């Protein structure tokens, strides 16, 4: 009943990290995958690995989610290959650490551009298709940093962008429920990926502090998002929209 055989799922930033793990989980359920990522080489490598391991069709598209012409191209190429879009996982994101009083406007805007504008542009372009189809599930990747400010790190732009993604998710969910398009967000805690590896490598006390604050006592791994993304992307979550699904080992309790 909840299988995703012959679904078409787009995962932005799907070449590596959390996006790659979520693409694998969706492919396990039978969904074809479109990986849209800045990094062409890694997107193609991940696509090839997925085809071989999961036996689904996988399209790799080099694209920047902050550029509307790239976003349009993702939608066009996906429709040309699969004729529909069932799922969008808005996962591409970046972080810049700097004290607020010292942060350059470029660092501020780069983060807001990818994490918020990119999510909106992708949701808008794919949402139009889903509205026509009268079917679709959009999963935006926020962060626990959209809910709490994670001291002592200095990530004001990141925190603001991720809080905005939660509000955008609720707004789109409210507007598009009438079209049978659902929009939810996942708020992960610390997951070991390239984005956070510098903290795990050099964090020392910081990593120790995080683990003290995490009731489950370990950092997350990308595979920890597999179940929740399958739930939200599939009909298993048919009555869920506008929700914020926290997956953080208990950090925010």
Stretch that binds ligand NAD, among 13-21, 127-135, 166-174, 227-235 (CB under 6 A): 13-21
Q: Is 69 in the site for ligand NAD (CB under 6 A)?
A: no
Is 31 known to be catalytic? no
Is 158 known to be catalytic? yes
Q: Give me the helices (H) in 39-155, please.
A: 40-54, 68-82, 105-112, 118-133
Q: Is 87 in the site for ligand NAD (CB under 6 A)?
A: no
Q: Give me the helices (H) in 177-248, please.
A: 197-202, 205-212, 226-233
- Whether the CA torsion 200, 204, 210, 216 is positive or negative: it is positive
The full length of the chain comes to 253
Q: Restricting to residues 195-224, which ones interact with ligand NAD according to CB under 6 A?
A: 195-196
Q: CA 16, CA 4: separation in Å to the nearest integer?
A: 22
- Which residues does residue 139 pair with via DSSP β-bridges, in sequence order? 89, 184
Q: N- to C-terminal Cα distance for the chain?
A: 33
Is 162 known to be catalytic? yes
Q: Is 91 in the site for ligand NAD (CB under 6 A)?
A: yes
Instruction: Give min distance, CB of 56 to ligand NAD, in A.
Output: 20
Q: Is 146 in the site for ligand NAD (CB under 6 A)?
A: no
Q: CA 33, CA 7: separation in Å to the nearest integer?
A: 8
Q: DSSP letter at 16?
A: S
Instruction: Give min distance, CB of 219 to ligand NAD, in A.
Output: 8
CB atoms within 10 A of CB 65: 27
Nearer to ligand NAD, 86 or 248 (CB): 248
Instruction: Give min distance, CB of 64 to ligand NAD, in A.
Output: 4
Nearer to ligand NAD, 215 or 238 (CB): 215
Q: Is 37 in the site for ligand NAD (CB under 6 A)?
A: yes
Q: Which of 7, 9, 10, 19 binds ligand NAD (CB under 6 A)?
A: 19
Phi, psi of 119 (to 5 degrees): -65, -45
Nearer to ligand NAD, 137 or 150 (CB): 150
Could you list the active site residues?
143, 158, 162
- Interaction site with ligand NAD (CB under 6 A): 12-13, 15-19, 37-39, 63-66, 91-94, 114, 118, 141, 143, 188, 190-191, 193-196
């Amino acid at each position: 009943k909840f299988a995703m055989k012959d679904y078409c799922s787009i995962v932005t930033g799907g070449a590596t990290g959390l996006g790659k793990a979520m693409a694998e989980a969706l492919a396990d359920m039978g969904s074809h995958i479109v990986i849209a990522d800045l990094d062409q080489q890694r997107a193609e490598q991940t696509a090839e690995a997925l085809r071989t391991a999961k036996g689904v069709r996988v399209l790799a598209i080099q694209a920047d989610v902050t550029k509307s012409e790239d976003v349009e191209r993702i939608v066009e190429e996906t429709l040309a290959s699969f004729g529909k879009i069932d799922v969008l996982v808005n996962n591409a994101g970046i972080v810049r650490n700097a004290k607020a009083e010292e942060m350059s406007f470029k660092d501020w805007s780069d983060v807001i551009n990818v994490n918020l504008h990119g999510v909106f542009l992708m949701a808008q372009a794919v949402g139009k298709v889903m509205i026509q189809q009268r079917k679709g599930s959009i999963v935006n990747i926020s962060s626990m940093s959209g809910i709490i400010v994670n001291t002592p790190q200095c990530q004001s732009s990141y925190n603001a962008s991720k809080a905005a993604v939660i509000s955008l998710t609720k707004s789109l969910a409210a507007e598009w429920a009438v079209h049978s398009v659902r929009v939810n967000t996942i708020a992960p805690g610390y997951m070991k990926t390239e984005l956070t590896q510098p903290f795990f490598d050099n964090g020392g006390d910081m990593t120790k502090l995080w683990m003290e604050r995490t009731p489950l006592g370990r950092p997350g791994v990308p595979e920890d998002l597999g179940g929740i993304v399958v739930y939200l992307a599939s009909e298993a979550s048919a009555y869920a929209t506008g929700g914020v699904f926290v997956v953080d080992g208990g950090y925010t309790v």
